[in-house]
């Protein structure tokens, strides 16, 4: 078996000290360019690979970060998880994954005072159970990045999209198609339902901009953004004396559940009721018909969250919190414009 090359052997070949080799491979600036080039030549010649685990232990780090989400069975989070793992692996970090089920005590335990730092160096958290005040009371020594809709208040980084603007665009898309009785499925009028509340705000803002009255009975609250909630809400809407002619669903899973009920009731999509979702998950492109959606740039969210967390881990002093807005796009598919679209062209994956 091939013996691993040691740092001392690299130092001997380059004619420098072991400390100088360590400074070069760790990217420290206090090395001349001539010396750096000589060390890197020796590194390549010997095919030296730094011992990342030993380096982390020497720096008092585990070399692992935690990604904490409410549900792992949600496609949005599973797709986001893949991006986080790729970004962390590129920086020689492993990712520990935890599911909270929205339990506030579990979320608080992971970011609270006095918790162990042996398992991970920092946390990327998508909170569901904790409100803004509870998040602000996290352990200030813990490098923390929050996903979703929680304002940082200067104590952590927050990465998310503009839910109000994205929801306004989704709703205006339906209104621009001539629909006037729009339903919204997914409102969550309680303290930890900020994301849903912002989407409802965007839904209302679009109506205001177009001069259309919101039918309050068509705004349906759901405990989760899943298929079953979408199906249950759609059954309720169809049983109303005047059902909607379009539905804005607060997730693609909600849209898929709603469309299942529409199909079983013999309601045509989009001829009778147009449907648009949110999240841009892969399943939405393969439904029948494919679902129009708001698609956040999940790769950007994942990469940015990891970059910000690693900056916080590396910093010797606490960094001020940052608000980082991810790009998003409106993807127009057949669930709102039909298989040929209003202009006779196939609508698949058009965006604005």
Average pLDDT, the chain: 88
Helix axes 163-176, 194-210, angle to 10 degrees: 40
CATH fit for domain 7-50, picks 1.10.260.40, 3.30.428.10, 3.90.226.10, 3.20.10.10: 1.10.260.40
The per-residue pLDDT for range 289-318, each reduced to its tens digit, is 999 999 999 999 999 999 999 999 888 788
Helix (H, G, I), strand (E, B) or coil at 13: helix
Please give the pLDDT value at position 339: 85
Please give the pLDDT value at position 26: 65
- Say if residue 54's pLDDT is above 60: no
Q: Which DSSP state fits 19?
A: H
Q: Give pTM, 2 decimals.
A: 0.80
Q: Hey, do 64-161+298-327 and 163-296+330-351 end up sharing a CATH topology, with the first three levels equal?
A: yes
CATH architecture of residue range(s) 64-161+298-327: 3-Layer(aba) Sandwich (3.40)
pLDDT-derived band at 352, boundaries 50, 70, 90: very low
- Say if residue 2's pLDDT is above 60: no
Classify 163-296+330-351 by CATH class: alpha beta
Helix (H, G, I), strand (E, B) or coil at 351: strand
The structural domains of the chain, with segments of one domain joined by +, span 7-50, 64-161+298-327, 163-296+330-351
The per-residue pLDDT for range 183-233, each reduced to its tens digit, is 999 999 988 788 999 999 999 999 999 999 999 999 999 999 999 999 999
Mean pLDDT of 141-166: 85
Task: List CB contacts of 100: < 8 A, sequence separation 6 or more.
Answer: 68, 69, 70, 106, 107, 110, 128, 129
Share of the chain above pLDDT 70, in %: 87
Phi first, then psi: give them for residue 59, nearest 5 degrees: -90, 5
Do residues 270 and 299 touch, judged by C-beta distance below 8 A?
Answer: no
Q: How far apart are CA 281 and CA 27, in angstroms?
A: 38
């Amino acid at each position: 078996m091939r013996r691993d090359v040691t740092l001392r052997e690299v130092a001997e070949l380059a004619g420098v000290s072991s400390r100088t080799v360590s400074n070069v491979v760790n990217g420290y600036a206090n090395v001349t360019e001539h010396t750096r080039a000589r060390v890197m030549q020796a590194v390549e010649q010997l095919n030296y690979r730094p011992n990342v685990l030993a380096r982390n232990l020497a720096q008092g780090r585990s070399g692992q970060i935690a990604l904490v989400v409410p549900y792992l069975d949600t496609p949005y989070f599973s797709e986001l998880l893949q991006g986080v793992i790729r970004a962390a692996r590129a920086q020689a970090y492993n990712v520990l994954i935890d599911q909270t089920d929205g339990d506030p005590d579990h979320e608080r335990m992971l970011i609270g005072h006095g918790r162990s730092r042996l398992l991970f160096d920092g946390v990327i958290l998508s909170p569901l159970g904790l409100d803004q005040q509870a998040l602000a009371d996290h352990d200030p020594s813990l490098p923390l990045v929050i996903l979703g809709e929680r304002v940082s208040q200067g104590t952590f980084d927050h990465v998310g999209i503009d839910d109000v603007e994205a929801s306004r665009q989704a709703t205006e898309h339906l209104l621009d198609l001539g629909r006037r009785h729009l339903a919204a499925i997914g409102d969550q009028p309680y303290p930890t339902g900020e994301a849903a509340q912002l989407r409802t705000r965007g839904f209302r803002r679009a109506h205001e901009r177009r001069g259309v009255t919101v039918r309050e009975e068509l705004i349906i609250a759901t405990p989760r953004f899943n298929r079953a909630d979408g199906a249950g809400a759609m059954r309720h809407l169809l049983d109303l004396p005047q059902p909607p002619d379009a539905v804005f669903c607060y997730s693609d899973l909600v849209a898929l559940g709603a469309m299942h009920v529409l199909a079983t009731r013999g309601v045509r999509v989009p001829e009778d009721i147009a449907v648009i979702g949110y999240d841009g998950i892969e399943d939405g492109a393969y439904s029948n018909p494919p679902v129009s959606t708001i698609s956040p740039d999940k790769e950007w969210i994942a990469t940015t969250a990891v970059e910000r967390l690693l900056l916080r881990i590396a910093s010797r002093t606490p960094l001020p919190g940052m608000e980082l807005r991810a790009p998003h796009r409106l993807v127009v598919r057949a669930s709102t414009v039909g298989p040929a679209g209003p202009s006779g062209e196939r609508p698949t994956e058009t965006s604005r």
